[in-house]
């Protein structure tokens, strides 16, 4: 029997708390303990990936997001995080593809539309990027950064 304070969920929550405090070494230890106990949780892999990305370890973060997606392929936030990490390392086509999957799963995700728009713009698909920014301003008309990016695309 796993004691409640030593469950995978508890380790994940503890890891998130450490990550919020930017104590990433401790956060990684907690996420690894959670993964040892429950490899079937996409959320643990996702949160570990976010912490890795926050420390600039983008390729490791992508590996974690890939694990999360393997477990829960219909979770938009996993695809969105993968898209952001791909964008951060300059893999714009992959970023566009991952964020594209995110917006298919969650059409109202402003963050995913923005990532997709930025990635499409980087690979020279300006009309498609503008369509993404149009979607953002439709969802959030007061979103100044989307209006600005759309105007300068």
Taking only Cα atoms into account, the Rg of the chain, rounded to an integer number of angstroms, comes to 17
- Same domain for 152 and 130? yes
Burial of 110 (0-12, 13-18, 19+ CB in 10 A): middle
**Do residues 67 and 89 share a domain?**
no
Q: How many domains does the chain have?
A: 2
State pLDDT tens for residues 67-120: 999 999 999 999 999 999 999 999 999 999 999 999 999 999 999 999 999 999
Tokens of 39: 């490899």
Domain containing 135 equals 79-153
- What letter does residue 4 receive in the DSSP assignment? G
Q: How does pLDDT run across 10-64, given as a tens digit for each residue?
A: 899 999 999 999 999 999 999 999 998 876 789 999 999 999 999 999 999 999 9
User: CB count, 10 Å around CB of 101?
Assistant: 21
Domain edge (last residue) among 73, 108, 127: 73
Query: Is the same domain home to 88 and 149?
Result: yes
Q: Do 59 and 87 share a domain, yes or no?
A: no
Give the residue from 55, 73, 91 where a domain finishes: 73
> How far apart are the C-alpha atoms of 28 and 114, rounded to whole Å?
29
CATH code of the domain in which 58 resides? 1.25.40.10
Q: Which residues have a Cβ under 8 Å from the Cβ of 129 and sit 6 or more positions away?
A: 116, 117, 118, 120, 121, 153
């Amino acid at each position: 029997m796993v004691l409640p304070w030593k469950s995978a969920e508890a380790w994940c929550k503890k890891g998130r708390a450490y990550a919020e405090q930017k104590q990433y070494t401790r956060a990684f230890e907690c996420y690894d303990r959670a993964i040892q106990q429950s490899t079937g949780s996409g959320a643990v892999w996702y949160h570990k990936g976010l912490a890795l990305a926050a420390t600039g370890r983008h390729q490791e973060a992508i590996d974690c997001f890939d694990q999360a997606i393997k477990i829960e392929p219909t979770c938009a936030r996993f695809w969105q995080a993968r898209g952001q990490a791909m964008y951060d390392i300059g893999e714009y086509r992959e970023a566009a593809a991952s964020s594209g999957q995110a917006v298919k799963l969650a059409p109202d995700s402003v963050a995913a539309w923005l990532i997709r728009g930025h990635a499409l713009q980087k690979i020279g698909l300006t009309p498609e990027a503008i369509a993404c920014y149009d979607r953002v301003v439709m969802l959030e008309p007061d979103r100044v950064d989307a209006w600005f990016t759309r105007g300068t695309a």
